[in-house]
Amino acid sequence: MIKIIYIPNRVSDSTFSRELIKREIERKEGFKVTDVNTDVGEALRASTGDCPDVLIIDPAEQDAAAREQIETIVSFRRAHPRSGPSDVLILSWRILEYAARRLGDADLTYQFLRPSEPYEIADKLERMYGPGCGRTGLKSERLLFVNRVKSLLLAMEIYPSYKGFNYLVDAAVLERYSPERMTLSKEIYPLLGEKYGRSPGSVERAIRLLTFIVRDNEIWRARFPFFRKRPSNSELIAMLAELPADGEDLRQPG
């Protein structure tokens, strides 16, 4: 049973909307909504006996209030590392950099989802956690994907000793899991620069260096024969982001 806490936005909250989201999620096999509450702290404190798996939050519209919600989640996680949810799904049209940084620091797995109708949210939950995916959940799927990207990079002789190795892995994760397509120059490079203490230009140059290595690698040429020349940064990131989370040994050509 996948247990879920849902934190609606105070602006759109109503008895009808609460019952609707609960009904749509629980129509899916193996899902239970243990609480729907606009007060994230109250919901988490009340959940300690239920051991929920996932917290879905439609964050407050004001940045300060949204940050306070995130800090409440982080504080609860640190005080109760075994009784709170490990996965946080954030309903947002954009990446909330503060949320990504703080939740990551607290070892919480997070994903941004486009705000949508309750039945669509329920469908997304089923794809992530339902019986068809073996109930591996967000953390396991993302870990499989990250390991697959790293496997392919190592096979192409791109090693962690290159500064761009981690930048490229993180960029592929952002490309794959962002609710809206992110721009490299205005969003991904600055976000990675902030994370690693580098300038956006330094991140761009480090990744661009790896495109020259890729161009001459036989595994890359075998897997992506339609590239007749060196891929751009955006093309390389996009190709990595589309890798399936599991499959054949990436150390071999396709």
My answer on whether 127 and 11 are in the same domain is: yes
What burial letters (b/e) apply to 52-90, b meaning 16+ CB within 10 Å?
Answer: bbbbbbbbbeeeeebbebbbbbbebbeeeeeebbbbbbb
Give how many domains the chain has, as a whole number.
Answer: 2
Residues 160, 115, single domain; the answer is no
Residue 130 pLDDT more than 50? yes
- Residue 88 scores a pLDDT above 60: yes
Q: Is the pLDDT of residue 172 over 80?
A: yes
DSSP string, 206-238: HHHHHHHHHHT-HHHHHH-TT--SPPPHHHHHH
Averaged pLDDT for residues 214-220? 86
CATH number at residue 23: 3.40.50.2300
CATH of the domain at 179: 1.10.10.10
Q: Do the domain assignments include residue 187?
A: yes
Report yes or no on 246 lying in a domain.
Answer: no
Given a contact cutoff of 8 angstroms between Cβ atoms, the answer to whether 158 and 210 are in contact is yes
166-175, 222-231, 233-242: which range is least confident on average? 222-231
Cα gap 254→247, rounded to integer Å: 11
Measured between alpha carbons, how far is residue 164 from residues 98, 158, 221 in Å? Answer: 23, 9, 20
How confident is residue 251, by pLDDT bands cut at 50, 70 and 90? Answer: very low
d(CA 18, CA 182): 31
Per-residue pLDDT band for 104 (boundaries 50, 70, 90) equals confident
Q: Residue 13 carries which DSSP code?
A: -
Give every CB contact of residue 228 below 8 A, 6+ residues apart in sequence: none
Contact 93, 112 (CB under 8 A): no
pLDDT of residue 20: 93
Inside any domain, residue 252: no
Please report the pLDDT score of residue 247 as a whole number: 54
Q: Do both 94 and 54 map to the same domain?
A: yes
43 and 164 in a single domain? The answer is no
Based on the domain organization, do 118 and 206 belong to the same domain? Answer: no
For residues 148 and 250, the answer to whether their CB atoms sit within 8 Å is yes
For a pLDDT cut of 70, what percent of the chain falls above it?
A: 91
Query: What confidence score (pLDDT) does residue 8 get?
Result: 93
4-32 residue pLDDT tens: 999 999 888 899 999 999 999 999 988 99
Name residue 129's amino acid.
Y
pLDDT of 205 above 90: yes
Give the sign of the dihedral formed by CA 147, CA 152, CA 157, CA 161: negative
Give me the percent of the chain exceeding a pLDDT of 90.
36
Three-state secondary structure call for residue 30: coil
Give the 3-state secondary structure of residue 50: coil
Structural domain of residue 175, as residue ranges?
138-241
Average pLDDT, the chain: 85
